[in-house]
Amino acid sequence: MADKKTNKRIKSLSIHRPFIYGTTAAPFHPQSNPKPPGIPDDHTHSWTVFVKGVDDTDITYWLRRVQFKLHESIPNHVRVIDAVPGKPFSLSETGWGEFEIAIRLYYVTESNEKPQTLYHHLRLHPYGRTEEEKELMKNGPDGGVVKSWNYDEQIFNEPYESFYEVLTSGVVMMGGGMAATQKGGKGGKQKVERSEGGVLARSAMIPLANRGAEYPFSRETEQCEIEKLKKALVRVEEMTRRTKEEMERKEKRLRELKAEGAKG
């Protein structure tokens, strides 16, 4: 527990850290994904569920444990994965069906935060908003691998001072070469590592551009989504305008018919 005298919450401050969670699945296939010996006959897929940093950056400085609650048909269905610095929290299984996984996040002790649960639907079969998207997942470059990945941001509201220190020590400050190293938590110098995509360790940064299918979350993706939403909005406005016109036309016709009825 935090010592209340020396360790206060920082009022009206909110800090976030990006992370990715989801599942990757593939059907068993003699060449691309052979079924290991001893796997039950009715198992059709192998799959992995994970929680990790953007660009595979370390998140174990704020997340110490993840509990994955799988479907009860799976032996030993509550699995706990403890942090290994620099590694994702992940577990792999085989099976035949899709279900919802409860992912419980346990934060580092300094945070004094209670665990939180998020839910993720394990996808084994190709899916998409359109048949085209589905087809791409089935026969695209990934060859039947079904990914269901989400970008999310963990928000810490009014963090304790000591936790804020943990969260921010090692981040490069804006605007400078001098920031290649920064004071570490215990007063020492700490080297800051940049992931290949330009994301700095222990920062809230996300990459500017995508780098292949393994790293789909970036400002570029965000921009694409914004464009899609803008286009959709224009379409919705157009549809609303047309519906209104149609209604006005019908109301006018109704008035005409009523007037005719009154006459006759």
**96 touching ligand SLL, by CB under 6 A:** yes
Q: How many residues does the chain have?
A: 264
**98 touching ligand SLL, by CB under 6 A:** yes
Asked whether the beta carbons of 49 and 99 are under 8 A apart, the reply is no
**134 touching ligand SLL, by CB under 6 A:** no
Q: Which stretch, 3-11, 29-37, 69-77, 154-162, contacts ligand SLL (CB under 6 A)?
A: 69-77
Rounded-to-integer distance, Cα 49 and Cα 152, Å: 15
Quick one: 34 or 97, whose CB is closer to ligand SLL? 97
Q: How far is the CB of 196 from ligand SLL (least distance, A)?
A: 35
Rounded-to-integer distance, Cα 16 and Cα 151, Å: 13
| Total site size for ligand SLL, rule CB under 6 A | 8
Quick one: 28 or 151, whose CB is closer to ligand SLL? 28
Strands 63-69 vs 78-82: parallel, antiparallel or unpaired: antiparallel
Residue 91 tokens read as 């577990």
Beta bridge partners of 9: 160
**73 touching ligand SLL, by CB under 6 A:** yes
Quick one: 43 or 65, whose CB is closer to ligand SLL? 43
**26 touching ligand SLL, by CB under 6 A:** no
Q: Which stretch, 80-88, 90-98, 154-162, 253-261, contacts ligand SLL (CB under 6 A)?
A: 90-98
Rounded-to-integer distance, Cα 182 and Cα 94, Å: 44
Residue 220 gets which letter from DSSP? H
**226 touching ligand SLL, by CB under 6 A:** no
Query: Which residues neighbour 181 within 8 Å (Cβ) at sequence distance 6 or greater?
Result: 189, 190, 191, 192
**157 touching ligand SLL, by CB under 6 A:** no
Among 101, 201, 190, 116, smallest CA distance to 156 is for 116
Quick one: 70 or 206, whose CB is closer to ligand SLL? 70
- Give contact residues for ligand SLL (rule: CB under 6 A): 71, 73-74, 95-99
